[in-house]
Amino acid sequence: MLLRHINMTLRPLGEGYVVSLAEEYDYPGPWEDDRSIQTNGTSAAQVNCVTDTGDLALRIELHDTPPETDTSRAWQYGPEDVVLCAEDGCLTLAVPCQGDLSEWWPDDEPPLALPPKTAGGSLRVRLYGRADSSEYGIGDRGETHLLQLWPDPEAAAP
């Protein structure tokens, strides 16, 4: 069941962003395969963006049970899942910016608190996405991502 959702707009400038469930996380590393989301340590994932310019419309959904897989044609890629260890009780977003990471969250939104039983356990993160255009370097384009998170007690922590 959906517990909470947040809609926001980021401007990652082609660098993607980091989703962290811990206080400490690393700067995004090299991409190891053609996936759009990959783990970055045990408690963080880095998400790649298809476009290099334009805004990213991001919806984050917190569920208490696994959501149904979206099989509609609304998404160009996904679902792609990773399992993260939920070290802290909140989710952090970070965007690479001039060789550094800038934490980002809308001022008008309270932190996304994870269910209490999640701390120290595993959390599954699922990504869906679509881009207005995947042609590199041409104009201001947008992209849309959906991140769904839910406790995954049967998954072994990465």
Per-residue pLDDT reduced to its tens digit, 88-119: 788 999 988 766 778 888 888 888 888 766 65
- pLDDT on residue 137: 57
157: exposed, middle or buried (C-beta count within 10 Å: 0-12, 13-18, 19+)? middle
The token pair that represents 151 in the structure block: 């406790």
**Helix %, strand %, coil % for the chain, to 5?**
0, 45, 55
Q: Is the pTM of this model over 0.95?
A: no
